[in-house]
Amino acid sequence: MDKKIVLIGAGSTSFGPNMFSDLYLSDILEGCEVMLNDIDKSKLDMMYDLLLIENERSEEKFILNKTLNREEALKGADFIINSIEVGDRMKLWRQDYEIPRKHGSTQVLGENGGPGGIFHTFRILPHIIEIVKDVERICPNAFFINFSNPMSRVCLGIKRAVNINFIGLCHEIHSLEHHIPLLLNKKLNEIKMVVAGLNHFGFLLSLEEKLSGQNLLPDFNRNATNYFKKKEDRFEFSQLTFEVYERFGYFPHAGDNHMGEYLQFAEEFTKTQDMVDWINHTDHQNQSIFKRALRYHKKLIKNKYPRKGFLSKFPSGERAIPIIETILTDKNSYENSVNIPNDGIITNLPQDLIVEVPCIVSKEGVKGVKLGNIPKNIAALLRIEATIQDLCVEAVLKKSKDLAMAAIALDPNVGSFKKAEIIFKEMTQLQKDFLPAFN
């Protein structure tokens, strides 16, 4: 296959190894040029060295290159996968979580929602806009896949800043894809589900058997509460999930920790220590992946590279590579969850919004499945978060302190300009090297 795939943020150990493993499991993409790009030379060199030996063992399956120069990386690109972060992710995330709570915010995680999610957006979105503007200038026909969080806000910024083909991908749907077949005693490929909303804030709206068209949602609803309470997980489906399911009538897919970021009442149904433990868990997981890469690289330098290799022999479950394959082969496949511009998909949500919905993938690209109006109570819940995302992204695009302050103050987990001013002051002092200069 004569295509060029660019990995921006290729030194990332959060997504890099998964992308590389999926690439090397693909026969369709054999022969493509794979370009690694990062601003961290040491991490880029390490991942490139590991892939060189894997490529050699795979009989030079890909044309492998690396560069620190983004313009060079993007020339001739057909597909771009972005997974950048800014600064020390975990150190900054802890600040995003701790500082707003110290000043009275009820946020429960601080990664994608609440005031922490707002500052995460402030840090990362300007850099991603620089990247996509380069894409628009250098390779305007390339297909851009974003993995960087906060997903909805990053993608909304992309939509408003440039005119390129793009989607955002998140693996949070995997939990439902695991549990629903077990609950219904069916195989995943026998089921068609519609989970719709915003990233980390979607709801199971429809469920049917593919062949017969039988509505499986009543069966799910009869059994879901007992099933998930037996498998209760403090990081996933727990008390907050059960409360929202009971009150709104539709099962939320993202789990307590992620969905809780957007809900003012989340703190009532989650434990502070559980959220701290989740941040620590994520940190430990990332450190483990990075240390593993370091170990393999050291063994490579000593000519003791393990026979089993660094890459996984099984698909990661991430959908970037399968979607690229589907576009190139025109398989016309159904994807359960993709972040794309609304554009008439959900008619009772703002159209200038990024929604997470099922899509059809073909040689024409990715097109959302039209859903029309979703239930009013769900739409009302989502519109609150949509309003905050609107203000947050506009604050970055216009470098407006007033809009930034409004986004923080109006967030359900703050609700006060006085608190917002205190949070803004301390966070801008702590993170001044990473934040835009608001006017």
Two structure tokens written together for 375: 């239930």
Task: Answer yes or no: are the C-beta atoms of 110 and 116 closer than 8 Å.
Answer: yes
| Alpha-carbon radius of gyration of the chain | 21
Separation between Cα atoms, residue 10 and residue 15, nearest integer Å: 8
Can you count the helices (H) and strands (E) in the chain? 15, 12
- Give the DSSP per-residue string, 99-143: HHHHTT---S--SSSHHHHHHHHHHHHHHHHHHHHHHHHH-TT-E
Residue 247's alpha-carbon distances to 80, 241, 262, 378, in angstroms, are 41, 10, 16, 10
Measured distance CA(204)–CA(338) in Å, rounded: 14
User: Which residues make Cβ contacts (< 8 Å) with residue 106, sequence separation at least 6?
Assistant: 264, 266, 267, 413
- 171 as an active site residue: the answer is yes
Residue 274: Cβ-neighbour burial (10 angstroms; 0-12, 13-18, 19+):
middle
Unique residue bearing structure tokens 């009869």: 222
Instruction: Judge if the upstream peptide bond of residue 100 is cis by omega within 30 degrees of 0.
Output: no
Element (H, E) at 265: none
Kindly name the residue from 103, 171, 179, 281 that is annotated as catalytic: 171
Instruction: Please state the φ and ψ torsions of residue 381, each to the nearest 5 degrees.
Output: -65, -45
**Active site residue ranges:** 171
